[in-house]
Amino acid sequence: MPEKHPPKHAANEPAGNAQEATSADESTAAVVSVDTAGGAMEPSAVPATAQSGQLPGGPDTLLRRIFTGSGMVSVLAVLLALIIGGLLIASTDERVATAAGYFLARPTDFLTAVWDAATRSYLALFQGSVFNPRGNSVAAQFAPFMETLTIATPLITAGLGVALAFRAGLFNIGAQGQIIVAGILAAWVGFALHLPLGLHLLLVLVAGIIGGAFWGGLVGLLKARTGAHEVILTIMFNYIALYFLRYLLNTPAFQRPGEANPISPILDPTAVYPQIFGTQYRLHLGFLLAIAATVVVWWLLNRSTVGFEFRAVGANPKAAQTAGINVSRSTILVMALAGGLAGMSGVAQVAGTEKVLTDGVAATYGFDAITVALLGRSTPWGTFAAGLLFGAFRAGAVQMQIQTGTPIDIVLVVQSLIVLFIAAPPLVRAIFGLNPRRRKPARAARSREAATTGGAA
């Protein structure tokens, strides 16, 4: 019996202190609250400061570089990735390999083949993602662009979730799990309940957003209350969500009657997003909601008090706390909002494109969303644009495979290269000679010379 007491007491203590501290924050001067934070409050709020490793550090932290980097670097990164991608495509091309066999006898063949392979692939990428002049009607010609928008939809909303958390100084790896939980709830409402048109879809959307917000908010809560690191929490929450989904798909409640495959029944027609430009395109209402979400996030971050608090916490949690901002509350709220946005992606999946729940419902959108947010430099419209770009890559990858036989992995390699260059702006600046700190033009020229002579030999 006496052994039971101390742990219980200990478990209660942080919460109690946090409450005291919260009231102290609100009622007394900032100085007092900082004193409280230094002492009694430790378990709740201070770890939030200390553990979000990227933020409080010097001017060279990763996040800061992402926020302050110029748009030029983004463009150059994409360009560089396309060039390297082109070389990779060429290296997998059969004609290039054949022509390389007699390179010395007729080098022009080799060079033409390289150029051909790369340009044909990128042309197919364009035709598969933006405009296909070979379509037999205007509708068919623009079908690729509609496909791009369709694929971009979940990327944009999940990307916004990740970006929002970035701005508050949280590295949210959990979009994948948030999409899955949202997908589970939204799909269940969609196929198990039978409701009238309008109400049903609304409920699907609400269920999805609540599911995502719950899964994200839980991470925020754990971080704010216990100081556990959000990266670890979100990664583990992804696993929990995925395996829970797999378990559910093996229960009859989530399977089709008479079948044992892990695939849910198809959602009711009343539960799915209407297709906004007719049935020949997959583009659905979710895209308009993604635009709306972008506007809301922009407003939230740039025009609202809450958004100001998020950014303040993201810039320096200690200073934010000193200024009277409730860091715990901001952490929970921003994670719940991030989860809700990711939840919209889950809804876009089950109610927009897939119309069923499988264990692949989140595809890789949760992780691609991190890339999208990074590429968009964590701004709402930047994320929107990055989502479109990635949507185009994905849509075009199909045509690239079919028309030229380029392996789909190469497309993913190009995407990954973009992220690599984005995440390391000094690398791009160094390659293009934009790095102000680098004053060794002579050496660079010499090594370039070595490369050319080597190649010619």
Backbone angles phi, psi at 284, to 5 degrees: -125, 175
**Measured between alpha carbons, how far is 176 from 158 in angstroms, rounded to an integer?**
9
> Measured in whole angstroms, how far is the alpha carbon of residue 241 from the centre of its chain?
17
User: How much of the chain is helix, strand and coil, in % rounded to 5?
Assistant: 75, 0, 25
According to the binding rule CB under 8 A, does residue 355 interact with another protein?
yes
Residue 382's H or E segment, with its range, is helix 380-399
According to the binding rule CB under 8 A, does residue 299 interact with another protein?
no
According to the binding rule CB under 8 A, does residue 453 interact with another protein?
yes
Residues 6+ apart with CB under 8 A from 177: 215, 234, 237, 238, 239, 240, 241, 242, 366
Looking at residues 410 to 429 of the shown chain, list those that interact with another protein (rule: CB under 8 A). 412
**Measured between alpha carbons, how far is 457 from 455 in angstroms, rounded to an integer?**
6
Give min distance, CB of 133 to another protein, in A.
14
Applying CB under 8 A, which part among 71-79, 167-175, 258-266, 418-426 lies near another protein? Answer: 258-266
Backbone angles phi, psi at 194, to 5 degrees: -125, 105
According to the binding rule CB under 8 A, does residue 356 interact with another protein?
yes
Applying CB under 8 A, which part among 35-43, 189-197, 253-261, 414-422 lies near another protein? Answer: 253-261
According to the binding rule CB under 8 A, does residue 363 interact with another protein?
yes
Looking at residues 169 to 188 of the shown chain, list those that interact with another protein (rule: CB under 8 A). none
Give min distance, CB of 86 to another protein, in A.
17
Q: What angle do CA 203, 388, 207 make, to 5 degrees?
A: 10
Q: Quick one: which of 232, 236, 282, 427 contacts another protein (CB under 8 A)?
A: 282
Handedness of CA 45, 46, 47, 52 (dihedral sign): positive
Helix (H, G, I), strand (E, B) or coil at 275: strand
DSSP 244-286: HHHHHHTSGGGS-TT--SS-PPPPPGGGSPPBTT-TTS--BTH
Q: Quick one: which of 147, 230, 268, 309 contacts another protein (CB under 8 A)?
A: 147
Give min distance, CB of 75 to another protein, in A.
25
Count of CB atoms situated within 10 Å of the CB of 27: 9
Give min distance, CB of 403 to another protein, in A.
8
Return the amino acid letter for 15. Answer: A
According to the binding rule CB under 8 A, does residue 138 interact with another protein?
no
Q: What angle do CA 135, 140, 145 make, to 5 degrees?
A: 110
Q: Quick one: which of 70, 364, 381, 431 contacts another protein (CB under 8 A)?
A: 364
According to the binding rule CB under 8 A, does residue 116 interact with another protein?
no
Applying CB under 8 A, which part among 186-194, 206-214, 416-424, 440-448 lies near another protein? Answer: 440-448
Residue whose entry in the numeric block shows the structure tokens 């380029």: 406
Give min distance, CB of 341 to another protein, in A.
19
According to the binding rule CB under 8 A, does residue 253 interact with another protein?
no
Return the amino acid letter for 337. Answer: L
Give min distance, CB of 162 to another protein, in A.
18
Contact footprint for another protein (CB under 8 A): 98, 100-106, 109, 128, 147, 151, 243, 246, 250, 258-263, 266, 282, 349, 353-356, 358, 360-361, 363-364, 394-395, 398-399, 401-402, 407-408, 412, 440, 443, 446-447, 450-451, 453-455, 457
